[in-house]
Amino acid sequence: MVKICCIGAGYVGGPTMAVIALKCPSIEVVVVDISVSRIMAWNSDQLPIYEPGLDEVVKQCRGKNLFFSTDVERHVAEADIIFVSVNTPTKTRGLGAGKAADLTYWESAARMIADVSKSNKIVVEKSTVPVKTAEAIEKILSHNSKGIKYQILSNPEFLAEGTAIQDLFNPDRVLIGGRETPEGQKAIQALKNVYAHWVPEDRILSTNLWSAELSKLAANAFLAQRISSVNAMSALCEATGADVSQVSHAVGKDTRIGPKFLNASVGFGGSCFQKDILNLVYICECNGLTEVANYWKQVIKVNDYQKNRFVNRVVSSMFNTVSGKKIAILGFAFKKDTGDTRETPAIDVCKGLLGDKAHLSIYDPQVTEDQIQRDLSMNKFDWDHPIHLQPMSPTSVKQVSVVWDAYEATKDAHGICILTEWDEFKKLDYKKIFDSMQKPAFVFDGRNIANVEKLREIGFIVYSIGKPL
Ligand code: NAD
Ligand code: UGA
């Protein structure tokens, strides 16, 4: 029986390994993590992440060929294939602060693998890492090898949160990069055999190590660039009377461009787009490619601009002040169908409104009060000026209440900001909401999900992204 061990039981490690276990009953999969609470949650009925379809997959294989454990060293020692799926955040201090990837967790995982291994291993980079990381990992492993042979593969993950299970069941492609030596090719084949249990052969691509590592950063940069492009257009639409939905529909009809990922929004969030583009920017700068670095940096600058523009629109529409006014925030997660708030645009929007002394009443179906309070009390990390942290005033945090119902959040509010496109926000009784609000009642739709005509008929003043007022 092939044994797989995955280091890191997070948003990627957990779902990815659960699907491998489901599709490959002949393989034993153990997911290990240093976080005891995370592993306890994976072993309970309350999984640590909300992801549609995940519960059923885990229930089907947990205890059979899928295990979650904190006994990291034992399971790493026993495995044939080790996936490393630890976090690789942006460095906040030291060389490259604000841009470079922090590989502390990756390096410590690699050193631990070298310490405990007693047999040959295939080590798979699942985390998103800078191009050439495999070279560094090879050095760490081979300098401590005690005669053990390691093959490093790059197998970046392309799943999106909220659709992780369907993305894993039916991936557009699986990418495997390895050394172009006979041993490297043999390792690629071993990993291909795992995915071949359910992924058609023509969707499993193999490349050299550096192409695989760079393709992951490139894919995220291209995706984020589409959103910043359409968001930049949304500003021009508002200035000219064009409607961004009509423009993106017309543009996306060109089969060379395609319709997906062209929804204008309050800005993209999530743990990866900003971090991975900054990582790409840093790599370009280190290679002396200033123009290329600046090109990609602009994708993030437009994203910051879009979030600021939204806050400014709220404040200027509400007679240039939101001081003391109750504003309902509908949605805090960075997208629907997840409870993840990492880099959610809601953080910057809420902080902007709190800076203008608004009182916020926040409702999200999947985000806990603790998480929201933690996110809003954290210092803002300014990637462009990493040394100047902006402390949050303790009084601001008192201006926030978190409630468990959209009607409660909007009661007596002067305005509503829709910041996540949860389906339930489309189905709310907006007449009932209007009647319970202060007048004039405003809706600022940061996700373009509201029926603008209907809301205006009810009496709301409505602002949507990139649409005529
Ligand atoms: P995460 O923070 O949810 O999970 C990482 C886990 O690794 C944590 O539970 C942490 O405790 C554990 N960990 C860290 N160091 C460890 C060590 N030495 N030993 C054992 N466990 C350790 O992160 P994530 O969202 O799953 O992302 C992981 C990687 O995958 C990142 O590089 C990310 O860029 C990439 N990625 C993420 C997504 C996504 O949708 N979240 C998609 C594709 C790729
Ligand atoms: C993204 C990529 O889509 C995945 O392929 C990749 O594996 C992952 O990053 C990663 O490396 O972490 P994710 O961040 O989970 O996945 O979610 P997306 O669906 O890409 O959404 C990211 C952000 O963009 C969200 O805030 C979303 O609301 C926003 N978005 C997306 C828009 O504003 N407009 C769109 O048209 C699409």
pLDDT, tens digit, 9 for 90 and up, residues 151-185: 999 999 999 999 999 999 999 999 999 999 999 99
Distance 157 CA to ligand 2 centre (A): 13
Distance CA 267, CA 269 (A): 7
Q: Whose CA is nearest to atom 37 of ligand 2?
A: 261
- Say what the ipTM of the complex is: 0.99
Of the ligands numbered here, which is closest to the C-alpha atom of 73? 1
Distance 107 CA to ligand 2 centre (A): 27
pLDDT, tens digit, 9 for 90 and up, residues 415-467: 999 999 999 999 999 999 999 999 999 999 999 999 999 999 999 999 999 99
CB of 220 sitting under 6 A from ligand 2: yes
Distance CA 391, CA 393 (A): 6
CB of 86 sitting under 6 A from ligand 1: yes
Other Cβ atoms closer than 10 A to 321: 12
Work out the average pLDDT over 55-59: 98
- 275 annotated binding-site participant: yes
User: How much of the chain exceeds pLDDT 70, in percent?
Assistant: 98
- 93 annotated binding-site participant: no
CB of 98 sitting under 6 A from ligand 1: no
CB of 422 sitting under 6 A from ligand 2: no
Catalytic amino acids? Answer: 272
Residue 46: partners with Cβ closer than 8 Å, 6 or more residues away: none
Specify the CATH class of 2-199 in words: alpha beta
CB of 227 sitting under 6 A from ligand 2: yes
Of the ligands numbered here, which is closest to the C-alpha atom of 225? 2
Q: Whose CA is nearest to atom 41 of ligand 1?
A: 11
Q: What is the pLDDT of residue 416?
A: 98
* Residue 384's pLDDT band (cuts 50, 70, 90): confident
- 128 annotated binding-site participant: yes
Q: What strands, in cross-sheet order, belong to the sheet with 204-208?
A: 66-69, 27-32, 2-7, 81-84, 121-125, 150-154, 174-178, 204-208
Q: Quick one: tokens of 303?
A: 């994203």
Evaluate if residue 28 carries a pLDDT over 90: yes
Domain ranges of the chain: 2-199, 221-464
CA distances in angstroms from 171 to 157, 201, 402, listed in the order given: 10, 12, 37
Position in ligand 2 atom list of the atom nearest CA 219 = 5
Position in ligand 2 atom list of the atom nearest CA 335 = 28
Nearest to 13 by CA among 73, 82, 76, 111: 82
Evaluate if residue 129 carries a pLDDT over 90: yes
SS3 per-residue string spanning 63-99 = CCCEEEECCHHHHHHHCCEEEECCCCCECCCCCCCCC
Q: Are 17 and 157 in contact (CB under 8 A)?
A: no
Topology agreement, domain 2-199 and domain 221-464 = yes
Q: What is the pLDDT of residue 390?
A: 56
Q: What is the pLDDT of residue 426?
A: 97
**CATH for 221-464, options being 3.40.50.720, 1.10.10.410, 1.20.1370.20, 3.30.70.270:** 3.40.50.720
Distance 405 CA to ligand 2 centre (A): 26
Work out the average pLDDT over 340-369: 97
pLDDT, tens digit, 9 for 90 and up, residues 288-337: 999 999 999 999 999 999 999 999 999 999 999 999 999 999 999 999 99
Distance 168 CA to ligand 2 centre (A): 15
CA distances in angstroms from 289 to 80, 202, 296, 366, listed in the order given: 40, 35, 11, 42
pLDDT, tens digit, 9 for 90 and up, residues 234-253: 999 999 999 999 999 999 99
Evaluate if residue 110 carries a pLDDT over 60: yes
Work out the average pLDDT over 119-124: 97
Q: Quick one: tokens of 457?
A: 């008929």
Q: Whose CA is nearest to atom 37 of ligand 1?
A: 12
Distance 339 CA to ligand 2 centre (A): 14
pTM above 0.90, yes or no: yes
Q: What is the pLDDT of residue 119?
A: 95
CB half-sphere exposure, 407, CA atoms < 13 A: 9
Distance CA 102, CA 98 (A): 10
Place of tokens 């400014």: 312
CA distances in angstroms from 364 to 14, 68, 127, listed in the order given: 23, 29, 28
CB of 157 sitting under 6 A from ligand 1: yes
Q: Quick one: tokens of 111?
A: 């050193």
CB half-sphere exposure, 54, CA atoms < 13 A: 25
User: How much of the chain exceeds pLDDT 90, in percent?
Assistant: 94
CB half-sphere exposure, 355, CA atoms < 13 A: 15
* Residue 381's pLDDT band (cuts 50, 70, 90): confident
Evaluate if residue 392 carries a pLDDT over 90: no
Place of tokens 């044939």: 80
